[in-house]
Structure 1
Amino acid sequence: MSTPTLTELASKKCVPCEGGVPPLPPDEVEALIQTVSGWSLTADGKRIRREWKAKNFVAGLRFFDKVGELAEEEGHHPDLHIEGYRNVAVEIWTHAVGGLTENDFILAAKINEVPIEQKRS
């Protein structure tokens, strides 16, 4: 299997998953994680995560609103975290398989296109 590019991932649509399929093997996960800039594998290897520092609390909420709309369109829902009033993070995995599928990387690629207002240095 050749690893899709970021553009190819972002152009795909998440496919409904009811379980019964195995999660991606580690070698495929490692190849795909290289494609989605800014995302990393969690310590247990079952999720991908990205963190941002929003300009302020409201900017973080606006970002999550856009991510939520995207998640609804894709039918694939990530975990959203906000801490310290502007530190936002998104974690993605396919709940039905208890690990990672191509859907997770498709959603990550699409989230990378969502703008977030960040604090200027």
Structure 2
Amino acid sequence: MSDLKQEHCKPCEGGVDPLDRTAAQNLLSQARGWTLNDPATEISRTYSFKNFYETMAFVNALAWVAHKEDHHPDLEVGYKRCRVRYTTHAIKGLSMNDFICAAKVNDLIGE
């Protein structure tokens, strides 16, 4: 299995099937702390921080990863937390891009 942090997202404009639950669960082993939703269409993780400044520093670093990979999460930002959700909208489910980005986001905090 390749190291997802070393991979890069590939454009996805649809026309391919989303990953099934088994494939998604297997990829979660490289995205520590992320959870799969019930229909297996989204992964998410909530990160906690000491204060608002650290939260926003994380959000800005995450925005850089999203820009470089051209794959963008949904974010819910609060004072000391950030919930990150990935899905590939074009296929209404999960793709490798979601797991690549999840691994890269974890790398921002040294995981």
* TM-score normalized by the length of structure 1: 0.85
Q: Give the C-alpha shift of residue 52 in structure 1.
A: 1.3
- Larger radius of gyration between Structure 1 and Structure 2: 1
SS state of the match for residue 53, structure 2?
helix
Q: Which is helix-richer, 1 or 2?
A: 2
Task: Map 1:107-118 to 2 at 5 A.
Answer: 107-115=101-109
Q: Give the C-alpha shift of residue 34 in structure 1.
A: 2.1
Q: Compute the RMSD of aligned alpha carbons.
A: 1.4
Query: Within 2, Cα distance between the matches of 1:20 and 1:75?
Result: 18
Q: Give the C-alpha shift of residue 42 in structure 1.
A: 2.0
Q: 1:11 aligns with which of 6, 19, 39?
A: 6
Task: Figure out how many residues of one structure are paired with residues of the other and give that number.
Answer: 110
SS state of the match for residue 50, structure 2?
coil
Q: Give the C-alpha shift of residue 101 in structure 1.
A: 0.6
Q: 2:6 is matched by which residue type in structure 1?
A: S
Runs of 5+ consecutive residues of structure 1 not aligned to the other structure: 117-121
* TM-score normalized by the length of structure 2: 0.92
Number of the residue aligned with 2:96 = 102
Aligned sequence identity (%)? 38
Q: Give the C-alpha shift of residue 27 in structure 1.
A: 1.1
Runs of 5+ consecutive residues of structure 2 not aligned to the other structure: none
Moved over 4 A (4+): none
